[in-house]
């Protein structure tokens, strides 16, 4: 963050990063096979826009929203309805449905955000929670718009084909969503470089002082909220195109919670953090949930550990190591990292066995005492299996702690050296 | 001539406690006024009233002849009044340069623009660099505000205050917590960056007060008991009784006189 490379190398770096991002999205479908993999890629694109839009509030504006799914979700419903209208002759090209979602998201943010952004801090968080509950309750009360329990479904192939593009095949939808994801990411990055974007950071850091340099904090928050609502809406429109259905859960608290959780996990203090969070969100939701029924429990544990030990999320862990690498000190840490990873694997192995056995005991008892775990047959009736699982867990924790202490000292020493080097450079 | 800042019989009550009790004050454009008084006299409250942080209970506050009481702090700032804080009030996670640039944006008319890039705002960037040079922080340009030394944070506090180009500057104890050597340098800096502006400052350090002010207002229990040139204020028996009689203060003033 403070490495401050010179102008020419940073502009070359920018081309490299953005070009790489575009290339990655272009080539990703060729690297995977199967409709599930392609669906995961599409969902990642949708989640990237959603999490980045959420981070305009959380990371850039210091606004802890518990109701971001209101804007992605309501936009999904509007997008589905417009999609259905398009099938009946409304002249809206299917490729512009995400934009329709964006306008809907912005419109809802203009109305609801006017109330929400009058306050900051805890009252802001409370109001977003209230509005989220309100909208979710409405979703079940107004079946005309929300379709009741079954939701509203649409058909993205309803429009006229354009240059042979019908949006029937998932690959066509993927590329449309990839284009939106790329453009939205670029636009949201650009936003961080504008006067409003910077004043939003200032409002996060010190709202009181902002008022004494001529800006209304309330206005800054409100405008940023509308912009976040717009991009959330684009994501909602993308969702509608991909899934062709919107149910009440898209405006639900669980989804709002997921945006918060994964934006934080990815790292709210760096622009690219929520992109990592979005990838994790889709992988956890699609793959981890297939792997184990207890996936929310693991997720909660990871979130807890991150909040306590790495509040900057994955992005800050990466950037801290990039900084160490920039000063040529990463190599000496690599053996320790390998050791830590191995210890962590042992912890996971033990903890996973314990969690799965408890889960099995509580929920799957009728299926008998046996359960499969990483190719092993465990039995919840066997004291030996319990003891073995706990022993592995204990050994892992012990190993991790034994490695962590010298690592922490080494890390602190390296940081001190780097600080000293930075000071020398500034003094020179 | 219209006074730059004028207070007419201003009262401020917090519950039953009256902190400001009928203060009237008129500061001419370009004048440097120091407000002194014992702890709890209401000096900071007075600043908070003028800058719009609190609303006055009764009375009028005017900026260049225009009533400003009841306006929001940002509205008052847009009319050309800027203030600093006794405890540094910075954008901690932004760099020194960004701190100052945030303070110049409104004055240059960029408002809430999200369709312009900051790097292309030449006037804002030049003005920010110029302010950095004035407050001698140009070499600390890219350091986060939170990582500055105490004295540097005080300088940045002044930088943010003057950056917007306001004609009326309120400084709340700018040298609080500084060593004597730092204070001397800092007073020089304040003098430089406020040339041609109307300056109101709250100060405890009598050396700073007598070195910097054209006129001194003595505030005791929410009332201005004297408002005159430093020499006359010093000679005023009422002031001596209320405040300046302390040996320490006289000693400080002497030191300051020798210093200049």
Give the total number of structural domains in chain A: 2
Is B203 part of a structural domain of the chain?
A: no
Partner residue facing A212 (CB), from B51, B112, B114: B51
Nearest CA in chain A to B77: A214
User: Which residue do the tokens 């800042």 mark?
Assistant: B5
Is A2 in Cβ contact with B119 (below 8 Å)? Answer: no
| 3-state secondary structure at position A378 | strand
* B115-163: pLDDT as tens digits: 999 999 999 999 999 999 999 999 999 999 999 999 999 999 999 999 9
Give the total number of structural domains in chain B: 1
Is the pLDDT score of B258 beyond 80?
Answer: no
Mean pLDDT throughout B38-67? 93
> From the CA of B119, how many Å to the nearest CA of chain A?
8
The answer, for A228 touching chain B at a CB cutoff of 8 Å, is no
Name every chain A residue with its beta carbon within 8 A of the beta carbon of B102: 198-199, 202, 210, 213
Is B27 part of a structural domain of the chain?
A: no
Q: Are both A235 and A151 inside the same structural domain?
A: yes
Q: What is the largest CA-CA distance in chain A?
A: 73
Q: Are both A67 and A195 inside the same structural domain?
A: yes
> With bands split at pLDDT 50, 70 and 90, how would you rate the model's confidence at B62?
very high
For residue A405, give every residue at least 6 positions away whose Cβ sits within 8 Å of its Cβ, in sequence order, or none.
none
Q: Are both A260 and A175 inside the same structural domain?
A: yes
Q: Is the dihedral of CA A410, A416, A421, A422 positive or negative?
A: positive
Q: Are both A94 and A39 inside the same structural domain?
A: yes
As a whole number of angstroms, the distance between CA A253 and CA A261 comes to 12
Partner residue facing B118 (CB), from A193, A202, A206: A193
Cβ–Cβ pairs < 8 A, chains A and B? 105
Q: Are both A378 and A259 inside the same structural domain?
A: no
Is B50 part of a structural domain of the chain?
A: no
Partner residue facing A212 (CB), from B83, B95, B144: B83
Q: Are both A299 and A354 inside the same structural domain?
A: no
Is B181 part of a structural domain of the chain?
A: no
> With bands split at pLDDT 50, 70 and 90, how would you rate the model's confidence at A3?
very low
> With bands split at pLDDT 50, 70 and 90, how would you rate the model's confidence at A9?
low
Is B259 part of a structural domain of the chain?
A: no
Q: Are both A139 and A253 inside the same structural domain?
A: yes
> With bands split at pLDDT 50, 70 and 90, how would you rate the model's confidence at B215?
very high
| 3-state secondary structure at position A270 | coil
Report the relative pairing of strands B32-36 and B215-220 from DSSP bridges: parallel
> With bands split at pLDDT 50, 70 and 90, how would you rate the model's confidence at A311?
very high
Alpha helices in A192-312 (DSSP H): 195-205, 207-211, 217-243, 253-266, 273-283, 289-291, 295-309
> With bands split at pLDDT 50, 70 and 90, how would you rate the model's confidence at B203?
confident
Is A2 part of a structural domain of the chain?
A: no
Is the pLDDT score of B249 beyond 70?
Answer: no
Is A189 part of a structural domain of the chain?
A: yes
Reading across the β-sheet that carries B5-14, which strands appear in turn? Answer: B17-27, B5-14, B58-63, B66-67
pLDDT at residue A406, as a whole number: 92
> From the CA of A212, how many Å to the nearest CA of chain B?
5
For residue A309, give every residue at least 6 positions away whose Cβ sits within 8 Å of its Cβ, in sequence order, or none.
none
Query: How large a percentage of chain B has pLDDT more than 90?
Result: 74
Closest C-alpha to A215, from B211, B113, B92: B113
Is B112 part of a structural domain of the chain?
A: yes
Is A223 part of a structural domain of the chain?
A: yes
Q: Are both A265 and A229 inside the same structural domain?
A: yes
Closest C-alpha to A217, from A62, A64, A56, A107: A62
Query: How large a percentage of chain A has pLDDT more than 90?
Result: 78
Model-level pTM?
0.93
Name every chain A residue with its beta carbon within 8 A of the beta carbon of B95: 2
pLDDT at residue A292, as a whole number: 86
Mean pLDDT throughout B197-218? 90
* A189-202: pLDDT as tens digits: 999 999 999 999 99
Is the pLDDT score of A1 beyond 60?
Answer: no
Cα angle B222, B226, B228 (rounded to 5 degrees) comes to 135
Among A281, A311, A341, the domain boundary falls at A311
The answer, for B108 touching chain A at a CB cutoff of 8 Å, is no
The larger pLDDT score, comparing residue A95 to residue B208, is at: A95
* A49-71: pLDDT as tens digits: 999 999 999 999 999 999 999 99
pLDDT at residue A276, as a whole number: 97
Quickly list DSSP for chain B: ---SEEEEEEEEEETTEEEEEEEEEEE-TT-EEEEE-STTSSHHHHHHHHTTSS--SEEEEEETTEE-TTS-HHHHHHTTEEE--SS----TTSBHHHHHHHHHHTTTT-TT-SSS-GGG-HHHHHHHHHHHHHTT-GGGTTSBGGGS-HHHHHHHHHHHHHHT--SEEEEESTTTT--HHHHHHHHHHHHHHTTTSEEEEE-S-HHHHHHH-SEEEEEETTEEEEEE-HHHHHH-HHHIIIIITSHHHHHHHHHHHHH-
For residue B193, give every residue at least 6 positions away whose Cβ sits within 8 Å of its Cβ, in sequence order, or none.
B134, B135, B158, B159, B162
Q: Are both A262 and A370 inside the same structural domain?
A: no
- Structural domain boundaries, residue B153: 87-165
Tokens of B78: 């847009």
pLDDT at residue A159, as a whole number: 72
Mean pLDDT throughout A311-326? 94
Q: Are both A333 and A400 inside the same structural domain?
A: yes
Among A278, A311, A344, the domain boundary falls at A311
> From the CA of B233, how many Å to the nearest CA of chain A?
32
Is B47 part of a structural domain of the chain?
A: no
Report the relative pairing of strands B32-36 and A376-379 from DSSP bridges: unpaired
| 3-state secondary structure at position A151 | coil
The larger pLDDT score, comparing residue A428 to residue B217, is at: B217
Residue A388's CB: how many other CB atoms inside 10 A?
15
As a whole number of angstroms, the distance between CA B95 and CA B100 comes to 9
> From the CA of A339, how many Å to the nearest CA of chain B?
34
Closest C-alpha to A232, from A39, A98, A66: A98
Is A318 part of a structural domain of the chain?
A: no
> With bands split at pLDDT 50, 70 and 90, how would you rate the model's confidence at A6?
very low
pLDDT at residue A2, as a whole number: 38
Tokens of A81: 């309805």
Is A9 part of a structural domain of the chain?
A: no
Report the relative pairing of strands B58-63 and B66-67 from DSSP bridges: antiparallel
pLDDT at residue A87, as a whole number: 86
β partners of residue A245:
A153
Is B160 in Cβ contact with A209 (below 8 Å)? Answer: yes
- Structural domain boundaries, residue A167: 15-311
Report the relative pairing of strands B5-14 and B17-27 from DSSP bridges: antiparallel
The backbone region for B136, taken as left when phi is positive above 0, alpha when psi lies in -120 to 50, beta otherwise, is left
As a whole number of angstroms, the distance between CA A242 and CA A39 comes to 8
Among A280, A311, A342, the domain boundary falls at A311
Q: Are both A381 and A300 inside the same structural domain?
A: no
Is B143 in Cβ contact with A195 (below 8 Å)? Answer: no
pLDDT at residue A365, as a whole number: 65
The answer, for A193 touching chain B at a CB cutoff of 8 Å, is yes
> With bands split at pLDDT 50, 70 and 90, how would you rate the model's confidence at A5?
very low
> With bands split at pLDDT 50, 70 and 90, how would you rate the model's confidence at A422?
confident
> From the CA of B192, how many Å to the nearest CA of chain A?
21
Report the relative pairing of strands B32-36 and B198-202 from DSSP bridges: parallel
Mean pLDDT throughout B27-40? 92
For residue A251, give Cα distances in angstroms to A49, A68, A72, A103, A226.
16, 8, 7, 17, 17
Q: Are both A210 and A336 inside the same structural domain?
A: no
Closest C-alpha to B12, from B51, B42, B52: B42
Is A322 part of a structural domain of the chain?
A: no
- CB–CB of B219/B43 below 8 Å? yes
Q: Is the dihedral of CA B45, B48, B53, B54 positive or negative?
A: positive
Radius of gyration of chain A, Cα coordinates, nearest whole angstrom = 24
The answer, for B106 touching chain A at a CB cutoff of 8 Å, is yes
Is A56 part of a structural domain of the chain?
A: yes
Mean pLDDT throughout A321-334? 92
- CB–CB of A116/A110 below 8 Å? no
Name every chain B residue with its beta carbon within 8 A of the beta carbon of A195: 105, 110-114, 116, 118, 121
Name every chain B residue with its beta carbon within 8 A of the beta carbon of A215: 74, 105-106, 112
Is B98 in Cβ contact with A201 (below 8 Å)? Answer: yes
Closest C-alpha to A56, from A212, A196, A183: A196
Closest C-alpha to A154, from A164, A171, A167, A172: A167
As a whole number of angstroms, the distance between CA A376 and CA A355 comes to 15
pLDDT at residue B257, as a whole number: 62
Radius of gyration of chain B, Cα coordinates, nearest whole angstrom = 19
Is B37 part of a structural domain of the chain?
A: no
Is A208 in Cβ contact with B89 (below 8 Å)? Answer: yes
Mean pLDDT throughout B23-36? 94
Is the pLDDT score of B251 beyond 80?
Answer: no
Mean pLDDT throughout B14-43? 92
Tokens of B9: 């019989």
The answer, for B109 touching chain A at a CB cutoff of 8 Å, is no
Report the relative pairing of strands A152-153 and A245-246 from DSSP bridges: antiparallel
> Which DSSP symbol is given to A409?
H
Partner residue facing A193 (CB), from B91, B107, B119: B119
Q: Choose from A44-58, A135-149, B217-231 the range with maximum mean pLDDT.
A: A44-58
Segment among A93-97, B155-159, B205-209 with least mean pLDDT: B205-209
Is A317 part of a structural domain of the chain?
A: no
> From the CA of B257, how many Å to the nearest CA of chain A?
35
Tokens of A301: 């544990």
Please provide the average confidence, as pLDDT, over all residues in chain A: 92
| 3-state secondary structure at position A204 | helix
The larger pLDDT score, comparing residue B258 to residue A166, is at: A166
pLDDT at residue A7, as a whole number: 44
User: Which residue do the tokens 């003028």 mark?
Assistant: B50
Is B140 in Cβ contact with A223 (below 8 Å)? Answer: no
Closest C-alpha to A131, from A144, A145, A143, A117: A117
């Amino acid at each position: 963050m403070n490495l401050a490379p010179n102008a020419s190398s940073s502009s070359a770096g920018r081309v490299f990063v953005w070009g790489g991002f575009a290339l990655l999205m272009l080539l990703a479908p060729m690297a995977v096979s199967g409709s599930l993999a392609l669906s995961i890629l599409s969902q990642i694109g949708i989640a990237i826009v959603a999490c980045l839009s959420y981070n305009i509030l959380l990371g850039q504006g210091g606004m802890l929203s518990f109701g971001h799914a209101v804007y992605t979700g309501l936009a999904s419903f509007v997008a589905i309805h417009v999609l259905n209208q398009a099938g009946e002759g409304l002249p809206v090209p299917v490729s512009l449905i995400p934009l329709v979602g964006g306008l809907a998201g912005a419109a809802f943010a203009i109305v609801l955000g006017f109330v929400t952004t009058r306050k900051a801090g805890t009252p802001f968080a409370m109001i977003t929670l209230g509005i989220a509950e309100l909208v979710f309750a409405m979703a079940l009360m107004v079946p005309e718009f929300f379709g009741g329990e079954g939701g509203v479904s649409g058909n993205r192939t309803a429009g006229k084909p354009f240059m042979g593009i019908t949006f029937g095949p998932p690959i066509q939808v993927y590329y449309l969503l990839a284009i939106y994801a790329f453009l939205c990411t670029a636009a949201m990055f650009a936003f961080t470089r504008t006067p409003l974007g910077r004043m939003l950071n200032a409002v996060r850091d010190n709202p009181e002082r902002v008022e004494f340099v001529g800006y209304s904090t309330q206005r800054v928050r409100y405008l940023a909220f509308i912009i976040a609502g717009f991009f959330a809406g684009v994501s909602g429109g993308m969702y509608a195109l991909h899934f062709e259905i919107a149910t009440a859960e898209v405006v639900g608290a669980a989804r709002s919670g997921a945006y918060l959780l994964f934006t934080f996990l990815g790292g709210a203090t760096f622009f690219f953090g929520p992109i990592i969070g979005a990838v994790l969100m889709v992988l956890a939701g699609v793959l981890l949930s297939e792997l184990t029924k207890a996936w929310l429990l693991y997720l909660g544990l990871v979130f807890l550990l991150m909040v306590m030990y790495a509040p900057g999320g994955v992005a800050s862990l990466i950037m801290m190591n990039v900084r160490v690498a920039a000063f040529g000190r990463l190599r000496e840490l690599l053996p320790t990292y390998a050791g830590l990873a191995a210890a962590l694997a042992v912890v996971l192995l033990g903890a996973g066995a314990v969690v799965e056995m408890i889960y099995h005991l509580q929920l799957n008892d009728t299926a008998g005492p046996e359960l499969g775990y990483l190719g092993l047959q465990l039995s919840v009736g066997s004291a030996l299996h319990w003891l073995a699982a706990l022993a592995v867990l204990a050994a892992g924790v012990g190993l991790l702690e034994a490695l962590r202490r010298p690592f922490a000292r080494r890390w602190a020493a390296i940081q001190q050296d780097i600080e000293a080097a930075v000071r020398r450079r500034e003094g020179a | 001539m219209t006074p730059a800042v004028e207070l007419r019989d201003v009262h401020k009550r917090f519950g039953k406690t009256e902190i400001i009790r009928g203060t009237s004050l008129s500061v001419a454009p370009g004048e440097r006024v120091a407000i002194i008084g014992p702890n709890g006299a209401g000096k900071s409250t007075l600043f908070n009233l003028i800058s719009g942080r609190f609303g006055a209970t009764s009375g009028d506050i005017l900026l260049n002849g225009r009533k400003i009481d009841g306006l929001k702090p940002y509205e008052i700032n847009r009319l050309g009044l800027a203030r600093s804080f006794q405890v540094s009030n910075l954008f901690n996670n932004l760099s020194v340069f960004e701190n100052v640039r945030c303070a110049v944006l409104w004055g240059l008319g960029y408002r809430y623009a999200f369709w312009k890039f900051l790097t292309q705002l030449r006037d804002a960037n030049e003005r920010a660099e110029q302010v950095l040079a004035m407050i001698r922080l140009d070499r600390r340009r890219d350091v986060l505000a939170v990582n500055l030394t105490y004295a540097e944070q005080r300088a940045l506090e002044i930088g943010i205050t003057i950056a917007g180009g306001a004609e009326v500057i309120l400084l709340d104890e700018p040298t609080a917590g500084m060593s004597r050597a730092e204070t001397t340098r800092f007073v020089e800096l304040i003098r430089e960056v406020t040339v041609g502006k109307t300056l109101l400052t709250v100060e405890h350090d009598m050396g700073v007060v007598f070195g910097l002010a054209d006129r001194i207002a003595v505030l005791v229990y929410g009332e201005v008991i004297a408002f005159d040139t430093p020499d006359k204020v010093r000679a005023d028996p009422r002031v001596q009784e209320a405040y300046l009689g302390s040996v320490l203060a006289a000693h400080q003033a002497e030191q300051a006189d020798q210093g200049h």
